């Protein structure tokens, strides 16, 4: 394994995920505080996947030729800009602009992240390497959500965003040392040629559609819904932050344990269904400590499902010449489905209550789990 490259990737992912975890908590809570309706919040949040989809595909197509550093720098710059935009936002349209810039920062890192991890792994258990980075990101998201809850309970939202902008600037340092040798000259014809969806096999699109079911489920249950639900259930800012931190934290701790045991995909899928479905349905029906317990159980189920997610991606991408582009196409349906999912989440909660949103998520998660297993067949984690 290329140790220095992997270390730089770890630093970049930790800082980026820390900021993402902070946004996960404070952006929806601030929008509610400013009197913005849930349906308007859903529309504003839908700007993120739109920007992510557009920029991700262009970035991915270029990344196979121009290397990693440029995109990690774009990630750092977009993190910085989104934090400043959130600082001055006051209307749904201004929040939508900030969300779009956040989508660009996500597009930049994910256009090259897995490809860089695979290169750092040098063919030695790439799925384990990518899951390790996921563990780092989950841990950083946990810390970011918890720390931001504490920050907004002790300082203003604006001061918190300025602090996040400062943290964003730190990403430039590891980004500078993350590059590899230039892959070659890229022409516009080659750039757009790689973006032709007709060149992608049906098998890749089929897996991409399966992955989109998970994205829809996660958007409906977590997205902006979970932090607002917890806040409306009577929890303070720091308590909501602690619960969201625990949501990602318990899963982060479970991932390395699960990977070490090398379970079959059948067992992984069974566990994720067993944990996620009943918990998602029970969350809006319970309260107090039992509700918190259900949130944590759902977090465990979602964390386990990320093993299946990474297995699907590595199965289709590893060994191809244009890895970054294929990974980009695999995420197209997920980004498309998240646009109406954000809007639908707000409408469902406003019209029918939180039970509708969490139940819809449970059903979609079940479909994802079953269809993902069918596409993976007899594959095991240790064989990837």
- Chain segment 74-97, per-residue pLDDT in tens: 999 999 999 999 999 999 999 999
What average pLDDT does this structure show over 137-160? 90
Is the pLDDT at 47 greater than 70? The verdict is yes
Tell me the average pLDDT of the chain: 85
Rounded to whole angstroms, the maximal C-alpha distance in the chain is 59
Is the pLDDT at 379 greater than 60? The verdict is no
Tell me: the pLDDT tens digits for 349-370? 999 999 999 999 999 999 999 9
Q: Which residues pair with 27 in a beta bridge?
A: none
Has residue 229 been placed in a domain?
yes
Has residue 246 been placed in a domain?
yes
Has residue 186 been placed in a domain?
no
Q: pLDDT exceeding 70 applies to what percent of the chain?
A: 85
Has residue 339 been placed in a domain?
yes
Q: b or e along 263-293 (b: 16 or more beta carbons within 10 Å of the residue's beta carbon)?
A: bebeebbebbbebbbebbbbbbeeeeeebbe
Has residue 86 been placed in a domain?
yes
Cβ neighbours of residue 319 under 8 Å, at least 6 residues apart? none
What average pLDDT does this structure show over 273-288? 93
CA distance 277 to 283: 10
Has residue 185 been placed in a domain?
no
CA distance 200 to 331: 13
* Count of domains observed in the chain: 1
Weakest-pLDDT range from 103-117, 143-157, 316-330:
316-330
Question: What is the distance in angstroms between the CA of the first residue and the CA of the last residue of the chain?
Answer: 16
CA distance 237 to 151: 9
* Token pair belonging to 116: 């860089």
Is the pLDDT at 262 greater than 70? The verdict is no
* Token pair belonging to 367: 């479909």
Has residue 210 been placed in a domain?
yes
pLDDT in the model for residue 363: 96
Give CA angle at 274 (216, 358), nearest 5°: 35
What average pLDDT does this structure show over 121-149? 79
Q: How confident is the model at residue 267 (pLDDT cuts 50, 70, 90)?
A: confident
What average pLDDT does this structure show over 225-240? 90
Is the pLDDT at 181 greater than 60? The verdict is no
From 112, 109, 111, 115, select the one nearest 140 (Cα to Cα).
109
Higher pLDDT, 194 or 12: 12
Whole domain around residue 358: which residue ranges?
3-176+196-383
Q: pLDDT exceeding 90 applies to what percent of the chain?
A: 49
pLDDT in the model for residue 335: 85
The answer to whether the CB of 36 falls within 8 A of the CB of 156 is no
Higher pLDDT, 186 or 314: 314
Has residue 181 been placed in a domain?
no
Q: How confident is the model at residue 184 (pLDDT cuts 50, 70, 90)?
A: low
pLDDT in the model for residue 136: 87
The answer to whether the CB of 182 falls within 8 A of the CB of 59 is no
Is the pLDDT at 178 greater than 60? The verdict is yes
CA distance 24 to 7: 25
- DSSP type of residue 380: B
* Token pair belonging to 148: 């931001």
Q: How confident is the model at residue 37 (pLDDT cuts 50, 70, 90)?
A: very high
Q: What is the CATH number of the domain that holds 131?
A: 1.20.1250.20
pLDDT in the model for residue 125: 61
């Amino acid at each position: 394994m290329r140790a220095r490259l992997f270390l730089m990737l770890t630093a970049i992912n930790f800082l980026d995920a820390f900021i993402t975890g902070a946004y996960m908590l404070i952006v929806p809570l601030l929008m509610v505080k400013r009197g913005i309706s849930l349906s308007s919040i859903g529309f504003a949040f839908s700007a993120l996947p739109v920007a992510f989809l557009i920029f991700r595909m262009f970035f991915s197509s270029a990344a196979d030729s121009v290397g990693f550093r440029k995109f990690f720098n774009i990630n750092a710059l977009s993190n910085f800009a989104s934090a400043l935009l959130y600082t001055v936002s006051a209307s749904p349209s201004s929040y939508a602009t900030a969300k779009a810039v956040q989508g660009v920062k996500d597009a930049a890192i994910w256009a090259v992240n897995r490809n860089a991890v695979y290169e750092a792994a040098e063919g030695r258990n790439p799925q384990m390497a990518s899951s390790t980075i996921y563990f780092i990101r989950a841990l950083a998201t946990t810390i970011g959500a918890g720390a931001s809850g504490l920050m907004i309970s002790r300082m203003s939202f604006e001061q918190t965003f300025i602090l996040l902008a400062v943290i964003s600037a730190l990403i430039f340092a590891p980004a500078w040392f993350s590059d590899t040798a230039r892959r070659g000259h890229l022409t516009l014809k080659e750039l757009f040629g790689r973006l032709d969806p007709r060149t992608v096999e049906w098998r890749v699109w089929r897996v991409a559609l399966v992955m989109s079911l998970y994205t829809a489920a996660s958007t409906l249950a977590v997205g902006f819904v979970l932090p607002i639900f917890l806040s409306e259930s009577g929890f303070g800012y720091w308590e909501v932050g602690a619960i969201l931190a625990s949501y990602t934290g318990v899963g982060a701790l479970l991932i390395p344990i699960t990977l070490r045991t090398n379970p079959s995909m059948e067992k992984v899928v069974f566990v994720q269904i067993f944990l996620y479905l009943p918990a998602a349905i029970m969350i809006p029906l319970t309260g107090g400590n039992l509700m918190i317990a259900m949130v944590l159980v759902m977090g465990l189920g979602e964390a386990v499902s990320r093993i299946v997610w990474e297995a699907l991606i590595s199965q289709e991408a590893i060994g191809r010449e244009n890895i970054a582009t294929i990974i980009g196409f695999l995420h197209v349906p997920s980004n498309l489905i998240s646009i109406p999912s954000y809007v639908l989440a707000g409408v469902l909660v406003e019209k029918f209550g939180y039970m509708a949103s969490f139940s819809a998520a449970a059903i979609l998660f079940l479909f994802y789990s079953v269809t993902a297993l069918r596409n993976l067949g007899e594959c095991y984690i240790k064989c990837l």
